[in-house]
Amino acid sequence: MDLDWLKDFLALAEQRNFSRAAEARHVTQPAFSRRIRALEDWIGAGLFLRGPQGAELTPAGAHFRPLAEALLQSLDRARRETQAAGEARAAPLAIAATHALSFTFFPGWIRGHMQADATGAISLVSDSMAACEAMMLAGEVHFLLCHHHPDAPTRLDADRVAGIPVGGDVLVPVSAPEAAGRPRWPLPPAPGQKVRLLAYGEASGLGRILAAHRARRGDGAGFETVFTAHLAATLLTMAQEGHGVAWLPLTMAEAALATGRLVRAGPESEAVPVGIRLYRAPGCRNPAADALWDVLGGPAAAEG
C-alpha cells in the first residue's frame, strides 16, 4: 500500500471529480485513476461510484474516509515527534552558570562528572543570577549552577524545580593591604567610621546572599556603598586597587590572597559560608542531561 493512494483517495473524496483531483495531486488523470483502482483492490471494496456527475463515495468509502485522515495525521505526528527526538539527542547540554562559578568551579566540576566522549557538546551560558533564573524558567537551559544560601530568596520554587548540592564555598571580606600587611579597610571599622563597601548589583545572586546575611545580623547600617557591580571579578579588581572591602568567593580570591595582593579584611566571623547547587529545569530534557542528573543522584521526580 502506497501512502500516495491515501492522499489520492482524500483528494477525490473532496473534489468528487477525477480531473480536478488529479490536477490537485499533480499527476495525470490516467495515472490518478490507476492509483485509486489500486487502493480499492488493496482494500477489497469499491470506494467510489463513478458516473457522469463525477465520483461519489460508496458506503465503504464513507467509512474509510475518516480512517484514512486519522492514519495520515498519525503518521505525520510520528514523523515530527521522531524528528524532534533526534534533534533533542543531538542538541548540546545547556547549562547556565553565574559569572563567579563559570570560571572557578564549573570547569573542574564538569570534568569530574562527565566523560567528554559520552557527553557530546556542552553549551555554557554565563550571566547574572537573575538572567540565569529567567533562562531556566523559560526552558532555555537544562541546568542552573549557582551559589545558594538558605536565607537568600530565589525565583526557583522548590515544588517545581529540583536542586541538589554539588559543592561549597565561603564569601570572605577582602581588602588591599597597607605597607605593613594589615588591611587598608579593616573590619570592624574604627569608631565613627563606616565600611567602604564594594557591593553587588541587584541582579547578583551573591548580592542577595549578602543582603540576607546582613539583614539577619542587623549590621546593614555600618556600610557605605562606594561601588556596585554585578560581577565578582570586577569587585576583585576594585578591591585589589584599594577602593574598599568586597565579599568574594574564596575560590576566586585565594590566588590574590596567596600572593598578598589582597588580605582578609576581618575575622573569620565575618565570612559567610555558602553552598553551590545545581537546579534542573522542569520539562527540559535530553540524554546528556539525564546522564548528568543520574550521575549526581538527582531525584527522579524532577525528570517528570
pLDDT 10s digits, 117-136 = 445 678 899 999 999 999 98
Q: Nearest to residue 244, comparing CAs of 190, 185, 188?
A: 185
Residues 175 and 267 in one domain: yes
Q: Nearest to residue 178, comparing CAs of 256, 261, 248?
A: 261
Q: Which of 57, 89, 121 is the last residue of a domain?
A: 89
Q: For residue 257, is pLDDT > 90?
A: yes
**How sure is the predictor about 299, in pLDDT bands with cuts at 50, 70 and 90?**
confident
Please give the residue that has the higher pLDDT: either 44 or 115.
44
Q: Nearest to residue 226, comparing CAs of 194, 256, 271, 260?
A: 194
For residue 96, being part of any structural domain is answered with no
pLDDT 10s digits, 185-205 = 998 887 878 889 999 998 999
Least confident of 60-69, 155-164, 273-282: 155-164
For residue 97, being part of any structural domain is answered with no
The total of structural domains in the chain comes to: 3
* One-letter amino acid for residue 118 of the chain: A
Predicted confidence at residue 300, as pLDDT, reads 62
Q: Which of 62, 89, 116 is the last residue of a domain?
A: 89
For residue 237, being part of any structural domain is answered with yes
What is the three-class DSSP state of 158?
A: coil
The tally of CA atoms less than 13 A away on the side-chain side of residue 100 is: 29
Residues 21 and 75 in one domain: yes
Q: For residue 87, is pLDDT > 70?
A: no
Tell me the percentage of the chain whose pLDDT exceeds 70.
92
Predicted confidence at residue 195, as pLDDT, reads 84
Residues 83 and 227 in one domain: no
Residues in the chain: 304
Please report, for the domain that includes residue 80, its CATH number.
1.10.10.10
For residue 43, being part of any structural domain is answered with yes
Distance in angstroms (rounded) separating the CA atoms of residues 240 and 80? 56
Distance in angstroms (rounded) separating the CA atoms of residues 143 and 45? 56
For residue 242, being part of any structural domain is answered with yes
Please give the residue that has the higher pLDDT: either 283 or 88.
283
Supply φ then ψ for residue 110, to 5 degrees: -70, -35
Contacts of 255 (CB under 8 A, 6+ apart): none
Q: For residue 285, is pLDDT > 80?
A: no
Least confident of 3-7, 88-92, 176-180, 286-290: 88-92
**Cβ–Cβ < 8 Å for 140, 94:** yes
For residue 122, being part of any structural domain is answered with yes
pLDDT 10s digits, 19-53 = 999 999 899 999 999 999 999 999 999 999 988 87
Predicted confidence at residue 302, as pLDDT, reads 41
Q: Nearest to residue 248, comparing CAs of 217, 280, 274, 276?
A: 274
Tell me the percentage of the chain whose pLDDT exceeds 90.
58
Distance in angstroms (rounded) separating the CA atoms of residues 252 and 56? 79
Residues 48 and 185 in one domain: no
Q: Which domain holds residue 286?
A: 102-166+278-303
Predicted confidence at residue 215, as pLDDT, reads 85
Residues 110 and 146 in one domain: yes
**How sure is the predictor about 304, in pLDDT bands with cuts at 50, 70 and 90?**
very low
Supply φ then ψ for residue 283, to 5 degrees: 80, 0
Residues 129 and 187 in one domain: no
Q: For residue 174, is pLDDT > 60?
A: yes
| Rg from Cα positions in the chain | 33
Exposure pattern of 155-186 as b/e (b: 16+ CB <10 Å)? ebeeeebbbeebbebebbbbbbbeeeeebbbb
Q: What is the pLDDT of the chain when averaged over all its residues?
A: 87
Distance in angstroms (rounded) separating the CA atoms of residues 203 and 131? 8
Q: What is the dihedral of CA 279, 284, 288, 294, to 10 degrees?
A: 50
Residues 128 and 270 in one domain: no
Q: Which of 67, 89, 111 is the last residue of a domain?
A: 89
For residue 244, being part of any structural domain is answered with yes
Residues 159 and 295 in one domain: yes
Q: Cell 556542552 appears where?
A: 122
For residue 127, being part of any structural domain is answered with yes
Residues 239 and 181 in one domain: yes
Residues 289 and 147 in one domain: yes
Predicted confidence at residue 116, as pLDDT, reads 45
Distance in angstroms (rounded) separating the CA atoms of residues 236 and 215? 23
Residues 293 and 227 in one domain: no
Predicted confidence at residue 92, as pLDDT, reads 77
Q: For residue 88, is pLDDT > 60?
A: no
Residues 31 and 61 in one domain: yes
